[in-house]
Amino acid sequence: MNTDLFFCGWVRLSCDMSDAAAILELCMREHIAYRHWCNDAEGRHVSFEMSERTARIFLRKCSEAEIRVRTVLHGGLPHLLYRYRRRVGLLLGAFLGAAILIASTQVLWDIRVSGNETMTVRRVKEELRESGLYVGMPLARLNTAKEEMRIQLESECFSWVSINMSGTVAYVEVRERVPTPDGEPLSPANLIASAEGIVEGVEIYTGKSVVKAGQAVQKGELLVSGVYDSQAVGWRVTRAAGHVLARTEHEFEVEIPLVYQQKVYSGEHLQQKTLFFFEKEIKLLKNSRILGVSCDKISNINSAVLGKGVSLPFSLRTDRYLPYEYREAVRSYESAQALAYYELERQIAQALPDATLLRKTVAVTLAEDAYRLHCKVWCLEDIAQVQEFSVNE
């Protein structure tokens, strides 16, 4: 449908095929414009369209010429307003929606990020917002060249930024700033033992080794000295660096109580819906009932997306609060055993992340109130720990 016909209104007319020639002659003689002339499938009638104003003149001329013409359909904005003249709220909502849609073309709808490696998209958008680029900002204020320069100068996270606009969507490509090493710290340091053990091997980069393979060392004992005593140049200091592999022994204790406090949900829930429109937050629905202090919160965000992944500037977040209480419960020995060994492996992995496990013994104690494990671990690990020291002139 032509835009002009929509705003001024249009009429579809129909007549018998026998009157078609007379109508065409009348339109040509009176300079009356018509559109979409077509015949029906049986070839008995023809139909055509013209504007409301032209149709009034045309129908008067047809009446004077005794040509039979029927009005089939009215359409366009005037007819639509007349049909819904008693539904003011619906019309107002339609006009308000159209106004919002038109106004939204003047603001930034979405920011799409690429090039980030360690930072999440959300973190990148937060950095961009702190630098002045955010969803909902007026496009008239957006100068991509100035924004790129300001973000690179103000942000400590990006070394390079490129902004390309496509309509109301900003495509931002970033390069994360890689911290450059400042070189070796100036403070001298020794390497000391982080645990008791028997030295298996020493690999020194800088410093002077004071231990050798097969030697037993205590925790905190000096392994590699950062002090040199030279008869040629005298005393000098450095930052000791290297690896000292040693056989070490560690003990772990795990206790799983058979009687414990179990989290039990009541089955009730508090639900709250929040609408995010650009940067505005609007609370829509909330259950006013107070469910208690102890609640788990589950949030779900649904973003409006058009075809081909085009994001709209609003989303709906639903927060569910599930109340619970703790009740006394009893676990079986089988369940306690599985939990105990899981906790033991977790403690070993956390305490000795880079060690090579050589041997392990586990002692089990079954009591009326708990399941206990006592574990000894022998492993090969790097026990060299940096300890800085100061030098007085």
* pLDDT tens profile 266-316: 888 788 888 877 667 777 766 555 555 688 888 887 766 655 555 666 778
Looking at residue 258, the DSSP 8-state letter turns out to be S
Question: 27, 21, 71, 20: which is closest to 46 by C-alpha?
Answer: 20
Quote the pLDDT of residue 152. 82
Cβ proximity of 289 and 306 under 8 Å: no
pLDDT at 231: 63
Can you give 104-150 as a three-state secondary structure string? HCCECCEEEEECCCCCCHHHHHHHHHHCCCCCCCEHHHCCHHHHHHH
354: CB partners within 8 A, 6+ apart:
381, 382
Upper half-sphere CA count for residue 353 (Cβ side, 13 Å): 1
**CATH code linked to domain 3-81:** 3.30.70.240
How does residue 142 score in pLDDT terms, banded at 50, 70 and 90? confident
Of the candidates 124, 167, 132, the residue with the CA atom closest to the CA atom of residue 149: 132
3-state secondary structure of 100: helix
The CA distance from 62 to 50, in Å, is 14
First to last CA, the chain: 92
pLDDT attached to residue 126: 86
Contacts of 209 (CB under 8 A, 6+ apart): 202, 223, 224, 225, 242
Could you tell me which residues are beta bridge partners of residue 87? none
Q: How far is the C-alpha of 195 from the C-alpha of 221, rounded, in Å? A: 9
Which residues fall within 8 angstroms of residue 283, CB to CB, at 6 or more apart? 272, 273, 274, 275
- What pLDDT sits at residue 223? 93
Residue 43 is given by DSSP the state S
Order of all β-strands in the sheet with 356-366:
216-217, 197-206, 241-257, 370-382, 356-366
Q: How confident is the model at residue 185 (pLDDT cuts 50, 70, 90)?
A: low
From 3.30.390.30, 3.10.20.310, 3.40.50.300, 1.10.150.240, which CATH number describes the 88-180 domain?
A: 3.10.20.310
Which helix (H) or strand (E) is 102 found in, with range? helix 88-104
Q: For residue 160, which amino acid is it?
A: W
With CA atoms as reference, report the closest residue to 237 among 184, 190, 185.
190
* Average of per-residue pLDDT across 73-99: 70
- DSSP string over 190-243: EEEESS-EEEEEEEEEESEE---TT-EE-TT-EEEESEEEETTTEEEE-B-EEE
| pLDDT band, very low/low/confident/very high, at 336 (cuts 50, 70, 90) | very high
> Of 11-15, 125-129, 201-205, 332-336, where does mean pLDDT reach its minimum?
125-129
Q: What is the pLDDT of residue 334?
A: 92
Q: What is the pLDDT of residue 355?
A: 92
Inform me whether the pLDDT recorded for 111 exceeds 60. Answer: yes
Amino acid at 32: I
pLDDT: which is higher, 141 or 96: 141
Q: Is the pLDDT of residue 230 over 70?
A: no
From CA 131, how far away is CA 203, in angstroms rounded? Answer: 48
Residue 221 contacts residue 192 (beta carbons within 8 Å): yes
Cα 265 from Cα 3, distance rounded (Å)? 59
Distance (Å, whole) CA 134 – CA 119: 17
Q: Is 80 helix (H, G, I), strand (E, B) or coil?
A: helix
Q: Residue written as tokens 């499938």? A: 41
Cα angle at 292 between 287 and 295, to 5 degrees? 85
Phi and psi torsions of 327, nearest 5°: -125, 150
